[in-house]
Chains A and B, each alone.
Chain A
C-alpha cells in the first residue's frame, strides 16, 4: 500500500465563496452587475440608517471601453454620505470575506455585509483590477485604498494607501467587473426606481453607461426611528442556538494573574493603595453593582481564601468543586495543594455557583429572551417539567433538546417585540407614493406587529388609483425590509393575495389604473428561494397582507362610488344637454316652425329628476 497522506486543508471563506459564487448571485455578467449594484446600494443605505444620516447615494456605471459589445468590463461606483469606515478597518472590511459588523437581531436590508465583499471578489476575478475604497469618518481626512484580495489566505493586499483632505464623511467604493448592461439595464433601473420609492428620505442618483441620468431626490426629511437590537424570542430559537447561549451563560473561572489583579484593583479604585483582605471585601461590597463579572468572581474567591492581593499573587486556583463546597489552589510559596471549605450559605458561594454552572432556568429565560417575566418563566418550567432553579450549565444534551422543543410548544409567551423592526411609517410611504404616482386616490396603512414562528413582522401597504397611473393594473410593487423584490413574482404571497382579490366587489373594473405597494418588515423574511425574490405564504403573513389589502380596498371602494356618482351626474347632465337641443331642433322643423322651443329651463330641472330617481 502506497503511503498517501490525505490532507484535509481548511479552505478560507474567500476560497469557499470563490468556488460557490453562483449561490451569492454572481453566476453570469448580467446577474452579477445587478447583484453588485444591489449590494453596494444596500450597504450604503444601511450604514446611513444606523447613524441616522439622511442618505445621499450616487451610483454610476461606466463602460471601460464603450465600443466593445456586451459583456464587457464596467466601472461600478457607489458613493454615499454615510459614516464611512475607520481607516484601520478598511482593508479588512473590504479585503476579507466574513468581516462585518452586522450581527445581532434586528431588521436590516442585508446581513453580514457579505454581498459587497462578494462583488469585490467577483470584480477581481473577472478583471484582475483592485477595488478602490475612499472613506472619511471625520469629514476632514479621507483615506483612499486600492486593495486586492488574496483568495487563498483570505487576506487583503493593500496596493496603495493615500490620505487627503475632504469636507464630508462618507464612503465610496469603485470596482471593475465584467457585466452586461444591455441585459441588466432595465433590471437595474427598476431597482433604483423602486428603492427610491420605498426610501423616500434618501436621494438616489444613477448615471448609466449610456449617459442617461436618473435623479430621485428625497421627498421627506425625517427618517424612521432606527431599529434596536433586541434579545431573541423563545419561538425563534433552535437547539443549536440554545447551546450557544448556554455556553456563554457559563463563565470560565478567570485566571488570577497580574493582569487580572490589576483589573480588580482598578475597579475597586485601589490602583495605588493597598488594603487588607477585610478592607478589600468591604470596599467591594460598596461598589458591587459597578463591578464586572470577572472581578466579582475574584472577590468571591478571595472571601473564601481570606487573602489580600499580595497572597493572591502567589497561588493558582485549581478547582472549584461546587457540589462538595471545596476550593482547591496551588500555593507557589509552600509548593503544595491546599483545599478550603466554602460556606454554601454565603452570597459569594452563589456567585461562584452561577459562574460555574450557569444561570438558573428562570434567570436564563428572563434575562436572555425578550418579553419573558419571572411568572411566565416559572409557568414554562412547570410546563416543560424542569425545576425553575435548574442550572442551565448542568443540562445534558437531551435536556437541552427537551428545553428547545418545549420553548416552541409553550403557548403563553407574549408575541415578539417589534422594536427591532424598522417599518417605513404611513406618512413617508404616503408621500413617496404620491410623489411617484401622482394618483387621484391614495391610501396607506401600517398594520400592528405580528409574528410567525417567533419572528416579528409588520405589513405596510399603500394603494393608489387614477391620476397619472396608466391603465392595465393592478400593478404590485413588492418590498421586503426596504428592498424591492423585482422578479419571480409567480409564487409570491403578496401577488397571491392581490390576485385573489375580487376587484369588482370594490367597484374597480378591468385593467384599472391601480398600484399596490406592499412592504413586509421582519427580522427574517421567509423567502421561498435562495434568489430572495419571492416571499413564502406563511399563514400569519398572508392573513396580515389580506387584512391590509381589504382595509385599503374598502377605502378605494368608497372613493370609487363617490367618483361613480359624480361621473354619473356629469354623464347625465351631458346626455340631456346633448340630446334635448337635438330633439328641439328636429321638432321645430317637423312642426314647420321657425323659432326653437324654449327648453333651457328643462335642462335646469335635471337635478330634480336625479333626486327623484335616488328616492325610487
Chain B
C-alpha cells in the first residue's frame, strides 16, 4: 500500500519548520537583549490543575495557564538559561541532522557551562522546551534511551545523513528493527500489510515473528516494551494516518495492560502539551478481564497496588463508558490478573491459532 498524502509533514519539511521556529525564538531573545531588556519565555503550565481532558481531541491537553520564565528574576535566571541552551543545542541537532538522547543532553550541557543538577532536571527542561515550541522532543532529535521494535513488510527510506535515499524492508531482520531516531525520521514508502498489531511484550513479539503472524494476518508487529515510548506511539500514529492501517493492541490481562492500550489511543497526562502522539482509532483486543473467565486462563491474585490503580483509573474521564469502564469493573470484581503467556497452558501456538483470530473477528464489530 502506498502512503496517502499524509496529514503530517515529511521529515525534511518538519526539520525546516522547526529550524524556523527556533530561529524566530532566538531572534526574539537576541533583539530583547540588544534593546537592554531582560528576555523571557512563556511556558504553558504543566501543573495538574492545568491538565484537562479534551473530549473532541480524545486526549489530555494543557489548559490556558501560562507561566512566564524571565531572565530578570534571579530565581528563574538559571532555568531560563538552561532552556535557552537547550533551544540552542536542539538547533544544532536539527541543522546538523544529528540525534541525541535524554542522557546525552544532560552530559552535553557540561561543555557549555550550563549546569544541571541531575538528569531529571535536564529532562524537565526538555519537556519545558516541548511545551514552549509545542513540538515533541523527537522532532528536536532528542530520544529516550529505551527502544521498542517493529517487524513486518514495510519499506522505509532513510533521511538521516549518510543514509539519505537508502531503503530497508522491516521484515529483513527477524529480531525486528529498533524504533530509533533514524527510523522515526524515515519516510514510509510501501507496505503490503493491512493491520498493525502492537504487543506489550518482547517475548510475544518474537513468538509472533516465529509464528509468521505478519504473514498470516498481513500485519506489522510492534513491540511497545511495556508503556509505549513516544517514538513508538508516533510510529503507530504514522502507520495509521499515513498508511491507513488499523491499529490493534494486545496487552496482559491487568489494569496496567488496559492503560497501555489507552495511552496509545489517547495519550498520557505527562504529554498533555503535545499532539500527534495518539491513535484515537486504535483498538484494544485484550486480554480483557472478561477473557480471563471466558478462556479459563491461569491467573494470579492482584496486589493492593493493583486494586488502588483500578480505583484511580475509574476517576479518569476516559474510563467512564463502554468496554473500558466494564473491564475495570470486572478486574475489580475478580481481583485476579492474567499474563499474555497464560495462553501457553493450551499450547505454545494457541494464542496465535485461536485467540488472536477470534479477537480480530470480534474487533470488526467493535
Contact = CB atoms under 8 A, between A and B. Distances in A.
B98 to A, nearest CB: 15
Given A582-B112, A583-B81, A590-B25, A597 B33 contact: yes
Nearest to B115: A578
A575 B71 CA distance: 11
A578 B82 CA distance: 12
B30 interface: yes
A272 B147 CA distance: 129
A494 B100 CA distance: 61
A583 to B, nearest CB: 5
Contact of A598 (B34, B71, B78, B80): B34
Contacts of A599: 33-34, 36
B36 A602 contact: yes
B27 interface: yes
Contacts of A576: 74, 77
A601 B35 CA distance: 10
A219 B84 CA distance: 58
A589 interface: yes
A238 B87 CA distance: 86
B152 to A, nearest CB: 40
A8 interface: no
A592 interface: yes
A588 to B, nearest CB: 6
Interface of A: 572, 575-576, 578-580, 582-584, 586-593, 597-599, 601-602, 605, 609
Interface in B23-64: 23, 25-27, 29-31, 33-34, 36-39
B33 A587 contact: yes
Nearest to A580: B71
B22 A590 contact: yes
A605 B92 CA distance: 32
- Listed residue (B33, B85, B113) with the most chain A CB atoms within 10 angstroms of its CB: B33
A586 B34 contact: no
29 contacts: A579-B78, A579-B80, A583-B33, A584-B30, A586-B26, A586-B81, A586-B84, A586-B85, A587-B30, A589-B91, A590-B23, A590-B29, A590-B30, A590-B91, A591-B23, A591-B26, A591-B27, A591-B29, A591-B30, A592-B27, A597-B30, A597-B34, A598-B33, A598-B34, A599-B34, A599-B36, A601-B36, A602-B36, A605-B36
A579 B81 contact: yes
Contact of A575 (B37, B38, B78): B78
Contacts of A575: 74, 77-78
Contacts of B114: 582
Nearest to A604: B36
A582 B111 CA distance: 12
A590 B87 contact: yes
A140 B29 CA distance: 89
A582 B88 CA distance: 11
B69 to A, nearest CB: 12
For the residues of B in contact with A, the DSSP-based class is helix
Contacts of B25: 590
B34 A583 contact: no
B26 A590 contact: yes
B354 interface: no
The 6 A-B residue pairs whose C-beta atoms are closest, nearest first, are A590-B26, A586-B88, A597-B34, A597-B33, A591-B26, A591-B27
B77 A579 contact: yes
Contact of A582 (B22, B30, B39, B113): B113
B93 to A, nearest CB: 13
Contacts of A578: 113
Contact of B39 (A587, A589, A601): A587
A605 B78 CA distance: 18
- Listed residue (B25, B30, B34) with the most chain A CB atoms within 10 angstroms of its CB: B30
B36 A584 contact: no
A582 B37 CA distance: 15
B74 A586 contact: no
A582 B85 contact: yes
A587 to B, nearest CB: 4
A484 to B, nearest CB: 46
Contacts of A602: 33, 36-38
B80 A583 contact: yes
Contacts of B215: none
B72 interface: yes
- Listed residue (A578, A588, A597, A609) with the most chain B CB atoms within 10 angstroms of its CB: A597
Contact of B29 (A579, A587, A592, A605): A587
A586 B77 contact: no
A495 B191 CA distance: 83
B77 A589 contact: no
A590 B22 CA distance: 7
B87 to A, nearest CB: 6
B292 to A, nearest CB: 55
- Listed residue (A584, A587, A590, A593) with the most chain B CB atoms within 10 angstroms of its CB: A590
Contacts of B92: 589
B140 to A, nearest CB: 13
B71 A583 contact: yes
Nearest to B39: A583
B133 to A, nearest CB: 12
B41 to A, nearest CB: 11
Given A580-B71, A582-B84, A587-B27, 14 more contacts: A575-B74, A575-B77, A582-B114, A583-B29, A584-B30, A586-B84, A587-B33, A587-B39, A587-B84, A590-B26, A590-B87, A598-B34, A599-B34, A602-B38
A604 B218 CA distance: 69
A587 B22 CA distance: 10
Contacts of A597: 30-31, 33-34
Contacts of B31: 597
A477 B91 CA distance: 61
B317 to A, nearest CB: 39
B31 to A, nearest CB: 8
Nearest to A572: B74
Nearest to B26: A590
Contacts of A592: 23, 26-27
B43 to A, nearest CB: 16
A251 to B, nearest CB: 85
Contacts of A609: 72, 74
A590 B32 CA distance: 14
Contacts of B81: 579, 582-583, 586
A590 B88 contact: yes
Nearest to A568: B74
Interface string B293-320: 0000000000000000000000000000
Contacts of A582: 81, 84-85, 112-114
A19 B222 CA distance: 95
Nearest to A605: B36
Contact of B33 (A584, A589, A605): A584
- Listed residue (A572, A576, A586, A601) with the most chain B CB atoms within 10 angstroms of its CB: A586
A590 B39 CA distance: 14
Contacts of B37: 602
Nearest to A592: B23
Contacts of B39: 583, 587
Contacts of B78: 575, 579
A570 B114 CA distance: 20
Contacts of B91: 589-590
A586 B114 CA distance: 11
B71 A579 contact: yes
Contacts of A589: 26, 88, 91-92
B30 to A, nearest CB: 4
A578 B113 CA distance: 9
Nearest to B81: A579
A508 B42 CA distance: 38
Nearest to B78: A579
A88 to B, nearest CB: 80
A307 B74 CA distance: 106
A106 B231 CA distance: 89
Nearest to A588: B30
A598 B32 CA distance: 10
A583 B27 CA distance: 12
